[in-house]
Copies of this chain bind each other. A is one copy, B any other.
Amino acid sequence: MQLGLIGLGRMGGNMAERLRAAGHEVVGYDPHAEASNVASLAELAAKLEAPRVVWVMVPAGGPTRDTVAELAGLLSSGDLVIDGGNSKFTDDQHNAALLAEHGIGYMDCGVSGGIWGRANGYGLMVGGDAEHVERAMPIFDALRPEGPREEGFAHAGPVGAGHYSKMVHNGIEYGLMQAYAEGYELLHAAPLVEDVPAVVKAWSRGTVVRSWLLDLLVRALDEDPELAELAGYVDDSGEGRWTVEEAINNSVPMPVISAALFARFSSRQDESPAMKAVAALRQQFGGHAVKRAT
């Protein structure tokens, strides 16, 4: 089927390729990409046959909200917009309501798989009306991995449920990565294990901890056995924060995922005001030696 695709970056560009390889017609738009098929959103709208399906794959927050707002003026009643970015679920209600004023449908779709999705397929979590889901199913089927549909695709609930599911997925991801990382550091620190990369690789098959993330850690250690080229500095892109906020809103204990989030915050601090305060207290009560700021 025909699809408008806005955003041809790392994710959107790969998705366009996977969709075209599956026989779909993708009209791509990205002001920053040579691969753009049209020069403007207006041209995109003009080029698509109604009823249109337009997939938005731009950075979450302002860029996505602005794109949806602009589409509200360019598309027609009966068209359908899918936000496949990492938007916060609270944006979805807003976007859906705005488009509904123009008779335009809206779905949110959480997309997992990173740069590997073009080859492996993407895990998809969708929120919206059943009829919209049905209409876009050929697209979902092309994007998701081979195998039974339900192992790479879910209609999670109403508008917002797709991004909510993706948010939780990413929160889990934080916890999983930190668990592997802590184990890796202990193996690294303890003298008994002599070949840490070999041990990590030996977990690839048969073990309880085998996973795709483990495979990636093996890959990273193959390339750089001491991870010597990397700084221990870890960004975050929002979903982990939202997951913990939602845990708080729903009174759900979340010690592990929150600890993983806070470890990232710490990793980005050159100096910790909190630990300065602890050092100050130790000095005050015990006359303990402190390290001077340099």
Contact = CB atoms under 8 A, between A and B. Distances in A.
A255 B255 contact: yes
Interface residues of A, number: 142
A281 B127 CA distance: 28
Q: How many subunits of this chain does the assembly comprise?
A: 4
Interface of A is mostly: helix
Nearest to A143: B206
Please indicate which of the listed interface residues A114, A160, A287, A289 has the most CB atoms of chain B within 10 Å of its own CB: A114
Given A183-B171, A257-B183, A205 B275 contact: no
A97 interface: no
Given A186-B254, A250-B190, A152 B113 contact: no
A134 interface: no
A73 interface: no
A159 to B, nearest CB: 9
A125 interface: yes
Given A161-B193, A178-B274, A205-B147, A156 B186 contact: no
Nearest to A285: B114
Contacts of A247: 182, 186
A195 B227 contact: no
Given A156-B199, A165-B199, A231-B291, A192 B89 contact: yes
B169 A208 contact: yes
Contacts of A207: 112-113, 122-123, 152, 169, 212
Given A188-B273, A271-B232, A152 B204 contact: yes
Interface in A125-162: 125, 127, 144-147, 150-158, 160-161
A94 interface: no
A67 to B, nearest CB: 22
Given A262-B258, A287-B114, A276 B165 contact: no
A274 B232 contact: yes
A285 B187 CA distance: 23
A230 B264 contact: no
Contacts of A264: 275, 278
B124 A202 contact: yes
Interface string A207-238: 11111111011011100100111111111000
Which 3 pairs show the lowest CB-CB distances between chains A and B? A175-B179, A211-B211, A123-B207
